[in-house]
Structure 1
Amino acid sequence: MAYDHEEQEQLATLQEWWKKNGNVMTWVLIAALAAYAGWTGWKYYQNNQAVQASQLYDELGKAVTAKDNVRVLRAATDMEQKFGGTTYAQMAALAAAKATFDANDLTNTKAQLQWVIDHGRDLEYKTLAKIRLAGVLLDEKAYDKGLEVLGGDVAPEFDSALADRKGDILVAQNKIDEARAAYQLALDKADPGNPSRQLIQIKLDAIGGSATKAAA
């Protein structure tokens, strides 16, 4: 006999259990396999996206070096449309903004910086884009828009630079007391070894120093 009596009883019990629960277990197994396959596929997709985005970012870098802003903007646009969820897209937009700014193409500069603010996933890049866009708006004398851009959530490590930019705009608006407060905040937030501290202090002194000194 292929099975003894005890084995036959165990087999019968197993068959009965499978009859009651086998369908459920099959679906559980299928769901587990599907989840694993989905996770594996997602990781492959992410890695593939990163590789392609890296290659496109390299192309953008070459275009920046060649000062070919047509290629720069094409690469940046492709990056934003195809790989907008990657860090490379934010970096590409900031690089394109710098290239177009150097070429005095402020329309595209503002567009690239605004893309980072609107679509960037990292607060650090978004904050940097805000500071740079506010600088462009300052040059264009769009002071209220510049201050508006500087609002909202920002990365703490940029608190000093953001307050400094705000001070610049307030000086341009002749709001000297508010500018003093902004520059003082910029100094307070700057690391002791930050080379920008000296420039901030010069600007603060130029409008009468701190609020306390001005009152004295």
Structure 2
Amino acid sequence: MEAYTTEEQQVQAIKDWWKKNGSSVILGTVIGLAGVFGWRYYGDYQIQQKESSSNAYQNVVTAAANDPEANLVGLQEFVASETASVNYRVMAAINLAKTLVTQEQYQSALEQLVWAEEQAPDELKALIQVRSARLQMQLEQYNEALATLAKVSDETYTAQVAQVQGDIYLAQGEVEQARQYYQTALDAAGAQADPSLSLKINDLSVEEDHG
């Protein structure tokens, strides 16, 4: 099973999931209409709602990418919208959190990811949990960060989880535990390992030799 070891791989995983599942993102919210109003109405409604949510999502995300600060409110309003599909809102919340991080609004970014995790399909939960743990570490919420990582059940994130665990222990001065987790991450990632892992392990070894 391939491990996700970089941000680019995580983003590509989301895109692949979206291509596979995007056509049915609102199915659960309108399935009851088929029996009440007939299949034709249901089909038309589904298409209209999907296109509306998709277009709105693409517009707001594109605008935010071009000018994050100026379009921050647009992302926030889309996430809070009750008319857009919840899966599109989850994706927007992930993008919003990323924008907030660039502005060092870590607590606000974490709040977006907490909401996104509650609403997200299983395929996206691991990604959100790893990012949430990184933010909790940034906020020095170390125990909470470790607890968040403990919820990750997707084995493709083993390397990512171990690396963040190493970062958390290193931030607390637990050098030996940090090195053990970095080694676990390196072993799990194999040829796809983040180059920084080897550097971190080597740096910790040098520090210990001179300690």
Q: Normalising by the residue count of structure 1, what TM-score does the alignment of the two structures yield?
A: 0.69
Q: Percent sequence identity over matched residues?
A: 25
Per the TM alignment, residue 48 of structure 1 is displaced from its structure 2 partner at its CA by 3.2
Partner of 2:75: 72
CA deviations over 1:39-87 (Å, ceiling 9, x no partner): 6655544433321221121222233122221122112222xx334543x
**What are the equivalent positions in structure 2 for 1:1-216 lying under 5 Å apart?**
42-64=42-64, 65-67=66-68, 68-78=71-81, 81-86=82-87, 88-123=88-123, 125-192=124-191, 194=192, 196=194, 198-208=195-205
Check whether the contact 1:59–1:75 (CA below 8 A) recurs between aligned residues: no
CA deviations over 1:7-52 (Å, ceiling 9, x no partner): xxxxxxxxxxxxxxxxxxxxxxxxxxx8697666555444333212
Counterparts of 1:55 and 1:134 in 2: how far apart (Å)?
31
1:159–1:83 CA distance, 2 compared to 1 (3 A): farther
- For 1:178, give the aligned amino acid: Q
CA deviations over 1:149-170 (Å, ceiling 9, x no partner): 1121432222111111111001
- For 2:142, give the aligned amino acid: Y
Counterparts of 2:36 and 2:79 in 1: how far apart (Å)?
34
1:207–1:146 CA distance, 2 compared to 1 (3 A): same
Partner of 1:31: none
CA deviations over 1:161-197 (Å, ceiling 9, x no partner): 11111110011122233222211111111141x261x
**Secondary structure of 2:205 counterpart:** coil
Per the TM alignment, residue 199 of structure 1 is displaced from its structure 2 partner at its CA by 0.6
Counterparts of 1:116 and 1:186 in 2: how far apart (Å)?
26
- For 1:183, give the aligned amino acid: Y
Check whether the contact 1:63–1:69 (CA below 8 A) recurs between aligned residues: no
Unaligned stretches of 5+ residues in structure 1:
1-33
- For 2:205, give the aligned amino acid: G
Partner of 1:8: none
Aligned residues: 172
1:175–1:39 CA distance, 2 compared to 1 (3 A): farther
Check whether the contact 2:107–2:139 (CA below 8 A) recurs between aligned residues: no
Partner of 1:29: none
1:36–1:70 CA distance, 2 compared to 1 (3 A): closer
- CA RMSD across the alignment: 2.7
1:44–1:148 CA distance, 2 compared to 1 (3 A): farther
Partner of 1:21: none
Mark the structure with the bigger radius of gyration.
1
Q: Normalising by the residue count of structure 2, what TM-score does the alignment of the two structures yield?
A: 0.70
- For 1:114, give the aligned amino acid: V
CA deviations over 1:135-162 (Å, ceiling 9, x no partner): 1221221111111111214322221111
- For 1:137, give the aligned amino acid: Q
